[in-house]
Structure 1
Amino acid sequence: MKQFLKYFFASVLGTISGIILLMVLSFFLLMGLVAMVDTDEVVTISPNTILKLELKHELPERSYFNPLGLQDIISSNIGKKIGLNDVIKNIKKAKEDDNIPGIFLDLDDINAGTWSILEPIRNSLLEFKQSGKFIIAHGNSISQKAYYLGSVADSIFLTPTGDMDFKGLYAELTFFKKTLEKLDIEAQVIRVGKFKSAVEPFISEKMSDANRLQTRAFLTSENDYLLKKISEARKINVDKLKKLQDDLLVQSPEDAIKYKLVDNLKYRVDVDEYLKSLTGKNSDEKLKTVSLKKYMKVEGKEKPYTSDRIAVIYAVGEINSSKGDETTIGKENIIKAIRKARNNQHVKAIVMRVNSPGGSALISDIIWNEVELAKKEKPFLVSYSKYAASGGYYISCGADKIIAEPTTLTGSIGVFALIPNTRKFFDNKLGITFDKVMTGKYSDFVSGLRRLTNYEKQVLQKQVNRIYKQFVGNVAAGRNMDYSAVDKIGEGRIWSGLQAKEIGLVDELGGLDKTIEMAADMSDIDNYRVVEYPEIRDPFEMFFETLLDDTSQKIFGTELNSIIEHYSKALNLLKGSKIQARLPFEIDEF
């Protein structure tokens, strides 16, 4: 009887748990459906409505429907995830909209992404100001990225009890050598070039001299550019700005006023009154604003119909042997997209938007070959975002033109192999042992369960050298440079977009819009539509895929999420393709 009751109650409990789980999943799905249906609503706004620009969430390259997850439900971040493309598109729309007199830029909690994501937004705001409309910015706590974006405003206000960062840039790299030692995992490395530091986190406890040199040079180039642009906007000498950073002189809101970094100290409520005055409203009248998310549903001016198109292919994320999706470059998604654009007679030019730290050398080479085929039939240009490093540079080096943001991290022309020896980890830590039968002496080559022999290391070194030579040769051919010249600036070294232009790795500085305009000029077309590839996947497919994902890191705090993210990327590198062409691991900029 005890056994009967035990299984009976277990069955009842299991049934109840299943019903509850089904109800929860149905609730998530219903909320997703509501969010998706809501996107078709058309919004109209009245005259003198201010566009309120908040950038509190990281911006992907383009908008897509956000799959539901626990974190999304808690934060109400469901439905369409706004991308960089729609931010810029709607700032341009607001410039031509007679109902929008100006933009209010909220500088609190700006988390849009790196400097290379902020740069095209800032440039769009500068173009907006050319219409004679105003931009007003305010923050309670203004970060360096927020200030760089807000420096274009006609007036910048800081809360009287607020704070502001102005201290210069620094970069952090995470190292796992001691972690691997504790786990009894040996990282076996084969590489080319003294700057190919992607493997350093696994074999060192700190940066090598070469890595420190390239990272400092990159940050210096980036910081000098940012100060130059702030100087132009705020009419403050660059040397004075540099001194403010170096001596940490901005210690209070009063210091921000003293050094003319902001225009006045105001609480948000007082800024709202100021905005009312700019739109001709009395103090007792309500200030009319519209959020970016809502303004996206306002119809813009229609353009004349044309069948001519420029294809924009988004190549985003690590390069691996998967199919690929919105956040990864796989063996199918980008290749199919290039072929589709190449074979479409209405597509007159192709622009590939690259935001990738690299990855599989093999997949990189296959995509490079597709670019070569496509550019024989129509102009093929490349626009660089945050990263276009190693494999990210490889896939695009043959393009007709390469345009990078000044702060893009690019180059890293190098190759390496990273083979973990996990035998002791399984034996000593998990108590798992292995035995094997082989038909040949090296049948278990790079199995990851033993140390490589000297001969096997020589074999891998030859493979790495061969792929590096091919990489450099492709760059030399694509950029019309001598092999020795590319080899000299290669060896895995990273460069900023500014530096890359000086040494010939890119042609122009600018964003995606500039690249599209150049593509139109090369195609000799004035009126065209922009079509995006690969097509965004069906929201339902993304939703159910997300339900199967590990949600553990979504329910922890931000700092723990950051640690998990570092470990996740480390594991991806360890389990990735045998030979890789990718960025010097992970550089966190602050």
Structure 2
Amino acid sequence: MKQFALTIAGVFVGLLLFFIGIPLLLIASAAGSSKPVVPAQAVLEVDLRGGLTDQAPTNPFAGFGGSSLSVMRVVDVLAQAQDDDRIKVVLVRLPESGMTPASADELRQAIHRFRSTGKVVIAHSQGLMPLGAVVSTYMLGASADEFWMQENASFQATGLASEEIFFGRAFERYGVRADFEQRYEYKNAVNPFTQSDFTEAHREAAESWMGSIYDRALANAAQDRDMEPEALRQAIESGPHTPARAQALGLVDNTGGVQQAETEARRRAGDNGRIIRFSEYASAVGERNGSGRNAIAIVGGEGAILTGRSSADPFGAGSMMSSDDIARAIHDAIDDRSVRAIVFRVSSPGGSPEGSEQILDAVRAAKAAGKPVVVSMGAYAASGGYWISSEASAIVAQPSTLTGSIGVFGGKFVLGDALGRFGVDVRGLTVGGDYADAFATDRPFNAGERAAFAGWMDQVYEDFVTRVSIGRNLPAARVREIARGRVWTGAQAHELGLVDELGGIYEAIRRAKALAEIPEDEAVRFRRYPRPRSTWEALSEAFGSSSEAAETLVRLNSVLTDPDVQAVMARARAERMRSEGAVVMADQPLR
């Protein structure tokens, strides 16, 4: 019945859109039938103002209403541009707000590699506002040959700030109780619901990783600007500044509008310098597949970890790591005889311990098959993100990656009193054991339920500690000492032995070649998993409908970009995560 209704609805919508949808599809098809022409003396414009994901989504609908640019794609395209004689200059358009610190690290390294060929990078900013990790945005701009800022803009990158909203007093006032267990005091994901202020442990951990990110960003910027670190720190922290003042302090090189920066970029490219947009150049060159008889598999996973397959949420706003899909991707790489090693790109705050274990089991299978697995950590690989990384052959993280958070939390929201104030009564029925209605929302856990649930939390925590102990070759007592749910930056985790090397995807590939005993100077091919699904595959998997009906549904893009629709979907996913009981999830990083 469901399939029939969906098919009829699809056909009906298709009829309504026939005279509009078909012409638009034909125009789009004609426009995409030929690759863009790359000018002989080109300026590649990389516009970061729309935001970045870590990886390009395999779900064709995941980018609707969000960013279509990924860190991995930018790094890949810049690698091709540095060897392309047609690309003379890169012009980077910086966002006004902060960037995910590890993403800024990865892009800075890519810019350094591009500049090492003797080519030029110009960065342009229309302002640096005190929103998120704006110091990371400044660090990225400082890595360019020339840093431009628009004259009427404002330089407000004066530090690093974070804000948390606590609902503890409001919940108490309105009769809501957050009845949670957490392991242990640094596992702060539930604190906004149970507290009215930072706990001592929450404050300690947050200030520690924030300080690590800030100090690293200033040190990198000082190195790239050829300034003494303390001088740059004083100049930064004495702001905010006008662009002219920032230039006088040596924080930027030039003031001028984007048209002036583009004119300078074209001049540096040559007499016939022309600008080509990132999307056009990326379309022209495609993905970098490499060459050689041996292959390295690149397996990507981004977002919260859930059990199941991604087709269960085809229109989800944002990326998810579906355990079936990621495990299958690793097994596909195992089955490919040309693949000698696997680089597993992880950017996840965690999620389901069951889903995490399924993915980790696939990592074990790859190692057992003689194929080393090197984890490359992106923006974050914390909690469940560290669980799936813990037994890899090697772990490479950016200095600003947020990782660790070896801990677990779980529980429920008790709403009986709150709803009762509005005349809403919750009544339940149960058959079976005493624990059957432990997650009823009308009351807190009783003593027996809490003891049983707490025992489960303890077991999940010990499982986590055991995996880290085995994977990192650390005594379990040492893991417990540095765990307790605490978040570390990649630089801190490296000192603690939780990470092997600092760097990005390039360093991970080099490490994978070494572990697979492939000579460093030998070219390799790249095999990417999971394979991106086509539009029709995604719709057919989601609805079980015919391709004809699916083709009509794809025209409903405007619905998918509706903020209210996306908010409902996000709440539904969050509720599913909470309803699963145990969650190995960490705080989200600054952006």
The TM-score, its normalising length taken from structure 1, stands at 0.85
Look up the match of 1:415: 408
The answer for unaligned runs of 5 or more in structure 2 is: 1-7, 312-317, 543-552
Conserved? CA contact 2:399–2:502, under 8 Å = yes
Q: Which whole-Å deviations, capped at 9, do the CAs of 1:242-270 have from their partners, x for residues lacking one? A: 223433x3421121012101112223333
| Larger deviation, residues 401-410 vs 312-321 | 312-321
Conserved? CA contact 1:70–1:554, under 8 Å = no
Look up the match of 2:528: 532
Q: Work out which of the residue numbers 175, 185, 199 in structure 2 matches 1:208.
A: 199
Q: Work out which of the residue numbers 549, 571, 578 in structure 1 matches 2:581.
A: 578
| Larger deviation, residues 501-510 vs 30-39 | 30-39
State how far apart, in whole Å, the 2-side matches of 1:240 and 1:572 are: 49
Shift of 1:214: 0.3
Secondary structure at the aligned position of 1:289 is classed as strand
Correspondence 1:59 to 2:52: yes
The TM-score, its normalising length taken from structure 2, stands at 0.85
Residues 184/298 of structure 1: CA separation in 2 closer, same or farther (3 Å cut):
same
Secondary structure at the aligned position of 2:377 is classed as strand
Correspondence 1:186 to 2:182: no
State how far apart, in whole Å, the 1-side matches of 2:252 and 2:403 are: 33
Secondary structure at the aligned position of 2:38 is classed as coil
Conserved? CA contact 2:340–2:516, under 8 Å = yes
The answer for unaligned runs of 5 or more in structure 1 is: 1-14
Look up the match of 1:87: 74
Q: Which whole-Å deviations, capped at 9, do the CAs of 1:529-582 have from their partners, x for residues lacking one? A: 11111121222344686979998894459xx99x9899677645533x211111
Q: 1:132 is aligned with what amino acid? A: G
Aligned alpha-carbon RMSD (Å): 3.4
Conserved? CA contact 1:103–1:136, under 8 Å = yes
Conserved? CA contact 1:353–1:383, under 8 Å = yes
Q: Which whole-Å deviations, capped at 9, do the CAs of 1:410-437 have from their partners, x for residues lacking one? A: 0000112212223334544472542414
Q: Which whole-Å deviations, capped at 9, do the CAs of 1:276-325 have from their partners, x for residues lacking one? A: 432343xxxx7511011001133489988544221111121111223236
Secondary structure at the aligned position of 2:178 is classed as strand
State how far apart, in whole Å, the 1-side matches of 2:442 and 2:464 are: 30
State how far apart, in whole Å, the 2-side matches of 1:29 and 1:528 are: 42
Conserved? CA contact 1:43–1:299, under 8 Å = no
State how far apart, in whole Å, the 1-side matches of 2:63 and 2:16 are: 15
Conserved? CA contact 2:51–2:69, under 8 Å = no
Q: 2:196 is aligned with what amino acid? A: E
Look up the match of 1:332: 324
State how far apart, in whole Å, the 2-side matches of 1:184 and 1:207 are: 22
Residues 468/36 of structure 1: CA separation in 2 closer, same or farther (3 Å cut):
farther
Secondary structure at the aligned position of 1:160 is classed as coil
State how far apart, in whole Å, the 2-side matches of 1:128 and 1:117 are: 17
Look up the match of 1:341: 333
Conserved? CA contact 1:414–1:581, under 8 Å = yes
State how far apart, in whole Å, the 1-side matches of 2:418 and 2:199 are: 27
Q: Work out which of the residue numbers 268, 272, 275 in structure 1 matches 2:265.
A: 275
Aligned runs of 1:75-474 on 2, under 5 Å?
81-109=68-96, 113-143=99-129, 144=134, 145-178=136-169, 180-181=171-172, 184-247=175-238, 249-281=239-271, 287-299=273-285, 305-324=291-310, 327-377=319-369, 378-429=371-422, 431-474=424-467
Secondary structure at the aligned position of 1:445 is classed as coil
Q: 2:142 is aligned with what amino acid? A: S
Secondary structure at the aligned position of 1:298 is classed as helix
Bigger relative CO (Cα 8 Å, ≥ 6 apart):
2
Q: How many residues align?
A: 558
Query: Structure 1 vs Structure 2: percent identity of aligned residues?
Result: 26
Residues 441/315 of structure 1: CA separation in 2 closer, same or farther (3 Å cut):
same
State how far apart, in whole Å, the 2-side matches of 1:122 and 1:368 are: 30
Residues 165/288 of structure 1: CA separation in 2 closer, same or farther (3 Å cut):
same
Residues 435/305 of structure 1: CA separation in 2 closer, same or farther (3 Å cut):
closer
Look up the match of 1:7: none
